[in-house]
């Protein structure tokens, strides 16, 4: 069951940012989303997750339209979202962040223990306030919080921004594991494109709020190809 977005338009209040996005995210695959700064990648992720209203177009999952659904209801449909910033409760402990994320979802309480097993670096810090975590640990917690709801599709808005290489590698390998287990992943890629494109199937290039290219992700690993595609988008 894939997530399908067609002709999606959205923005902030009256300011339209997305002018027609097409994107498909199948299960068991990592789908990369690339584009220049300000192209609308974060706006697209926020719209899919129900944080911004759809102005026009369609988003469908499991045969249902998600248009007009609240963020909570989209989460309950099986689409988890890890925003780029402000994605943990700093004052709460790691465990309480996970518990808080589980409250709205049936059976999610048991998943708190499950995600702590999956991420030993969080289990070791379960009673520590999230404000004391390193950038990589915090980002791991944000991903774990999304997993507590038991999503089938996980939307990651540039989860490796500014992280030390060891954490980039860990997050890449955890996300690959999740996809191998069946999850569909949409990954906004800005930094470390080589590492993420190497494990992705399809790459969507977004420019000025439109899907400008749909490519085989690994084709962008050829020398100079990624730069060429990203530079071409504004001509
Ligand atoms: N809350 C907001 N209100 C109004 N405009 C916004 C808001 N957030 C973002 N924008 C505008 O929407 C456009 C797209 O921003 P968005 O963050 O989606 O781009 P992006 O492709 O994710 O960029 P980046 O790579 O810089 O994160 C930008 O022009 C930005 O200024």
* Model ipTM value: 0.95
pLDDT-derived band at 227 (thresholds 50, 70, 90) equals confident
pLDDT tens-digit map of 101-122: 998 888 778 889 999 999 999 9
- Is pLDDT at 142 greater than 90 in this prediction? yes
Among protein residues, the one with the nearest Cα to ligand 1's atom 6 is: 12
Is 11 a member of any domain? Answer: yes
Structural domain of residue 160, as residue ranges? 3-87+153-232
Of the CA atoms within 13 Å of residue 77, those in its CB half-sphere come to 23
For the chain, percent of residues with pLDDT exceeding 70: 98
Exposure of 14 by Cβ count < 10 A (0-12 exposed, 13-18 middle, 19+ buried)?
exposed
Is 144 within the bounds of a domain? Answer: no
Q: What is the pLDDT of residues 13-37, one digit of tens each?
A: 999 999 999 999 999 999 999 998 8
Q: Rounded to an integer, what distance in angstroms lies between the CA atom of residue 130 and that of residue 141? A: 8
CATH number of the domain to which 228 belongs: 3.40.50.300
The residues facing 34 across adjacent strands are 205
pLDDT mean across residues, the chain = 93
Q: Considering the domain boundaries, does residue 111 fall inside one?
A: no
Tens digit of pLDDT for each residue in 194-223? 999 999 999 999 999 999 999 999 999 999
Flag whether 139 is in a domain. no
Assess if residue 30 is contained within a domain: yes
Closest residue by CA, ligand 1 atom 28: 38
Total number of domains constituting the chain: 1
- Is residue 112 in some structural domain? no
Quote the tokens at residue 214.
């749909």
Angle between helices 108-118 and 94-102 (to 10 degrees): 140
Residue 110 lies in a domain: no
Residues lining ligand 1, judged by CB closer than 6 Å? Answer: 12, 15, 17, 35, 37-43, 190
User: Is 197 part of a structural domain of the chain?
Assistant: yes
Contact 60, 231 (CB under 8 A): no
Q: Which atom of ligand 1 is nearest to the CA of 44?
A: 18
43 CA to centre of ligand 1 in angstroms:
6
Q: Answer whether residue 234 shows pLDDT above 70.
A: no
């Amino acid at each position: 069951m894939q997530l399908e977005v067609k002709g999606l338009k959205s923005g902030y209040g009256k300011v339209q940012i997305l002018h027609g996005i097409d994107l498909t995210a199948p299960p068991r695959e990592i789908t990369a989303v690339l584009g220049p700064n300000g192209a609308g990648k974060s706006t697209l992720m926020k719209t899919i997750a129900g944080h911004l209203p759809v102005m026009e177009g369609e988003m469908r999952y499991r045969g249902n339209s998600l248009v007009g659904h609240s963020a909570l209801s989209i989460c309950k449909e099986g689409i988890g979202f890890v925003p780029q910033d402000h994605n943990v409760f700093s004052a709460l402990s790691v465990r309480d962040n996970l518990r808080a994320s589980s409250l709205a979802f049936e059976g999610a309480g048991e998943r708190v223990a499950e995600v702590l097993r999956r991420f030993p670096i969080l289990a070791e810090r379960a009673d520590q306030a999230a404000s004391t975590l390193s950038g990589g640990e915090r980002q791991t917690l944000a991903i774990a919080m999304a997993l507590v709801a038991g999503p089938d599709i996980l939307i990651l808005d540039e989860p490796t921004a500014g992280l030390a290489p060891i954490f980039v590698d860990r997050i890449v390998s955890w996300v690959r594991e999740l996809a191998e287990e069946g999850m569909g992943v949409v990954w906004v890629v800005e930094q470390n494109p080589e590492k993420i494109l190497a494990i992705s199937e399809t790459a969507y290039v977004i420019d000025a709020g439109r899907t400008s290219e749909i490519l085989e992700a690994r084709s962008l690993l050829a020398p100079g190809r990624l730069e060429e595609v990203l530079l071409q988008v504004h001509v």
